[in-house]
Amino acid sequence: MTALLHPRGSPDGIGWQGVYFDHHQKGGMCIAWHSPQIGRLECEKHRCVNPKTGSPGTTYPRRRKGSGQYTHMCKKPGISPFKGVCDKQGYCDNSGAPQVCQKQQVLHINHMSRSAGVLVLKRSSCLNGKCSVFKSGLCIDLRKNVWSSTINDSLGKGVNLVSISHGMLTQAKEFGWQAKASLKKHYNKLPAKYRCSDHRHTEMIKPTWPATSQEKCYTATCAKTKDAALARFAIFNF
């Protein structure tokens, strides 16, 4: 995949710099793959407008020095509404700005190997009732275990297995950190050894009891994890 580099430095796709977002207070910024914002739906807002006229309002820096000087606050009675939204009982945006929303996430798909994960981005832009969607994803095999299990959640029938479950957010952040480092090292072009495969890793599991139990093959035939196929399904359905 070739990522288009945004003027602010973020690739409009999957790259180590993160994903570009036009923040109403901070301006153009890159959301990193290990950021707490990962998994959130982020929609663009106007920086500051007069709710009666829709004209730009007055802003002021949050701090006089430091990084706070680049964060612009809206002076009352100005508001910072979502772009392209019309509420007949409140503010109606007549600026002609498209309604842009996006979501980026670090995913481990159930039954994917412990070393693989998916970085995925989805952005929609709507104007005058017509919408277009941009979607991009990349499966990375770090070639070292990051996730605690190949199983996302083992609750259900049969023997409970060690799963990612409660550690998903923490492990996703760690995978994001390491994926960023790998992409940066290779200038956003992963060598073949770090691309996901359907024939590289055997799916291993470990029961939650006894504590001394060792990992064993998930199936009697010791089948390989279908990392590449699972990634395609996840990106398509994201």
Q: Provide the Cα torsion 162, 166, 171, 173; round to 10°.
A: 170
Give mean pLDDT, residues 102-120.
97
pLDDT at residue 237 in the model: 95
Q: Does residue 146 fall inside a structural domain?
A: yes
pLDDT at residue 11 in the model: 57
Contact 21, 29 (CB under 8 A): yes
pLDDT tops 70 at residue 39: yes
Contact 149, 161 (CB under 8 A): yes
CA 178: distance to chain centroid?
14
pLDDT tops 90 at residue 185: yes
pLDDT at residue 140 in the model: 98
CA angle 147, 148, 153 (to 5 degrees): 100
Least confident residue range of 69-78, 151-160, 173-182, 203-212: 151-160
pLDDT at residue 89 in the model: 80
Q: Does residue 68 fall inside a structural domain?
A: no
pLDDT at residue 219 in the model: 94
* Cα first-last separation, the chain: 18
pLDDT tops 80 at residue 234: yes
Cβ atoms within 10 Å of 38's Cβ, excluding its own: 20
pLDDT digits 0-9 by tens, 52-65 = 889 999 999 999 88
pLDDT at residue 16 in the model: 96
Q: Does residue 223 fall inside a structural domain?
A: yes
pLDDT digits 0-9 by tens, 128-166 = 889 999 999 999 999 999 999 999 997 665 668 899 988
How would you classify residue 184: left for phi > 0, otherwise alpha for psi between -120 and 50, otherwise beta?
alpha
Q: Does residue 60 fall inside a structural domain?
A: no
Q: Give the domain range for residue 219.
A: 105-237
Q: Does residue 198 fall inside a structural domain?
A: yes
Q: Percent helix, strand and coil across the chain, each rounded to 5?
A: 15, 30, 55
Backbone torsions φ then ψ of 177, nearest 5 degrees? -60, -50
How far is the CA of 207 from the CAs of 156, 159, 187, in angstroms? 13, 7, 40
Give mean pLDDT, residues 6-32.
83
Q: Which amino acid, one-letter code, is at 74? A: C
How far is the CA of 229 from the CAs of 119, 176, 191, 224, in angstroms? 15, 20, 19, 12
Q: Does residue 21 fall inside a structural domain?
A: no
The per-residue pLDDT of the chain, averaged, comes to 91
Contact 25, 71 (CB under 8 A): yes
Residue 61 tokens read as 């820096």
Report the C-alpha gap between 111 and 189 in whole angstroms: 26
Q: Does residue 204 fall inside a structural domain?
A: yes
Q: Does residue 46 fall inside a structural domain?
A: no
Report the C-alpha gap between 146 and 170 in whole angstroms: 10
pLDDT tops 90 at residue 6: no
Domain count, the chain: 1
Residue 203 tokens read as 């799916």
pLDDT digits 0-9 by tens, 68-94 = 898 999 999 999 999 999 887 889 999
pLDDT tops 60 at residue 9: no
pLDDT at residue 50 in the model: 93
